[in-house]
Amino acid sequence: MNREYAAMLKLTGRPCLVVGGGTVAERKIAALLEAGADVTVISPSVTPAIRSWAETGGLSWLSFHYGTPEIIKNYELEGSEKDPVNKGGTVFPDLSPYVILFAATNNREVNDLLRREADKLGKFVNVADQPDTGNMTVPAVVHRGKLTLTVSTSGASPALAAEIRRELESAYGPEYVPYMDFLSELRETMRERIPDTKKRQELLRRVPAWNVPERIQAGDFESWRKEIMHMLQETSSPEEFTAAYVSIGSSFGKDSNPSGNDG
Ligand SMILES: C[C@@]1(CC(=O)O)c2cc3[nH]c(cc4nc(cc5[nH]c(cc(n2)[C@H]1CCC(=O)O)[C@@](C)(CC(=O)O)[C@@H]5CCC(=O)O)C(CC(=O)O)=C4CCC(=O)O)c(CCC(=O)O)c3CC(=O)O
Ligand SMILES: NC(=O)C1=CN([C@@H]2O[C@H](COP(=O)(O)OP(=O)(O)OC[C@H]3O[C@@H](n4cnc5c(N)ncnc54)[C@H](O)[C@@H]3O)[C@@H](O)[C@H]2O)C=CC1
């Protein structure tokens, strides 16, 4: 099986190269900047958004064509009207500093050249127009604080990936931002107070039944959070902690209405 491997990358401060400056490049760059990557863009022309990121120091823009003069000459011979090639300024830089590369021009040969150069160096490369030739594709993403939801169709239908992303955005709304912070805080507390891993796991699996997102939407979350965290902190042994914790669940079982809609 050659299934794609899903992973999360930390790109803070890591050099990433985007070749091309159109709408596809812009979408990839926006996500790279949100990840804190050190972005270099090579493209003779860029979208207004890319230009303004360059002007405010968010990224480095090299206003050149990537590629060798031969490739650009061939491209001219193929007669693209869409992006007439500027006779001057081509660059063919060393790619070794970059962690990942994006071939996002509208010129197949240029994208293919970057992909081949990246392959020589064993780099990860995303190819916009012939994704199967590259070794990395970008999923549709929903960020909710520490929660990240991603959708990939392995290139079968980016439009479906975007559609499912929109569905996820409404199913997992902004309430998941404080919910994730709460889960993180709770888990930290549990790691301090419940040394037994199995026991801790068993307790943590009960949290979804507390319907915290509904509580956040109903607006009574903050006082509830303070109350239960206080109650848990007051306990003096793992047993007491566990008993207090289990009581949280039973205080609003199936009979109660955590959505708060009953007024
Ligand atoms: C393989 C992949 C490589 C990669 O770029 O990483 C790729 C390739 C191609 N996309 C094309 C077209 C479109 N791409 C989008 C949108 C997105 N494309 C994204 C990812 C990917 N696109 C990777 C696979 C992901 C997967 O399969 O799940 C998203 C998810 C993420 C992102 O780009 O950030 C982002 C949505 C973000 C969001 O909204 O959440 C739309 C919709 C729109 O614009 O509204 C259209 C038009 C509709 C359509 O064609 O479906 C074409 C044809 C070009 C042509 O026809 O010329 C190719 C090339 C080919 O298929 O050969
Ligand atoms: N992967 C994806 O998500 C999608 C991919 N595509 C494909 O991606 C490609 C790019 O799409 P768009 O951004 O919409 O195109 P676009 O035409 O808006 O932008 C192309 C960019 O490439 C630059 N460019 C051209 N030659 C270059 C060179 N030698 N070096 C550096 N930059 C160069 C141009 O200046 C321009 O900024 C198209 O081939 C399209 O088929 C299209 C839609 C989605």
- Residue 101: helix, strand or coil by DSSP? strand
Total domain count for the chain? 2
Residue 130 shares a structural domain with residue 55: yes
Q: In terms of residue numbers, what domain contains 209?
A: 176-250
pLDDT range class, residue 256, cuts 50, 70, 90:
very low
Question: Once rounded to an integer, what is the mean pLDDT over residues 92-116?
Answer: 95
- CB-based contact 210:254 (threshold 8 Å): no
* This prediction's pTM: 0.89
Residue 257 lies in a domain: no
pLDDT digits over 54-81, tens only?
A: 999 999 999 999 987 777 666 554 544 4
Between the CA of 91 and the centroid of ligand 1 the distance, in Å, is 27
DSSP, res 4: P
Same domain, 127 and 182: no
Q: Is the pLDDT of residue 85 over 70?
A: no
256: DSSP letter: S
**163 assigned to some structural domain:** no
Residue 10 clears pLDDT 80, i.e. is over it? yes
Same domain, 122 and 45: yes
Whether 235 lines ligand 1, by a CB cut-off of 6 Å, is no
**Alpha carbons within 13 A on the beta-carbon side of 245:** 24
What atom of ligand 1 comes closest to residue 156's alpha carbon?
A: 27
**In this structure, is residue 151 part of a structural domain?**
no
The confidence score (pLDDT) of residue 84 equals 40
At which of 138, 160, 187 does a domain end? 138
- Give pLDDT tens digits for 136-183: 999 999 999 999 999 999 999 999 999 999 999 999 999 999 999 999
Q: How far is the CA of 40 from the centre of ligand 1 (A)?
A: 22
Question: CATH number, domain at 35?
Answer: 3.40.50.720
Asked whether 137 lines ligand 1 (CB < 6 A), one says: yes
Q: Which ligand is located closest to the Cα atom of residue 163?
A: 1
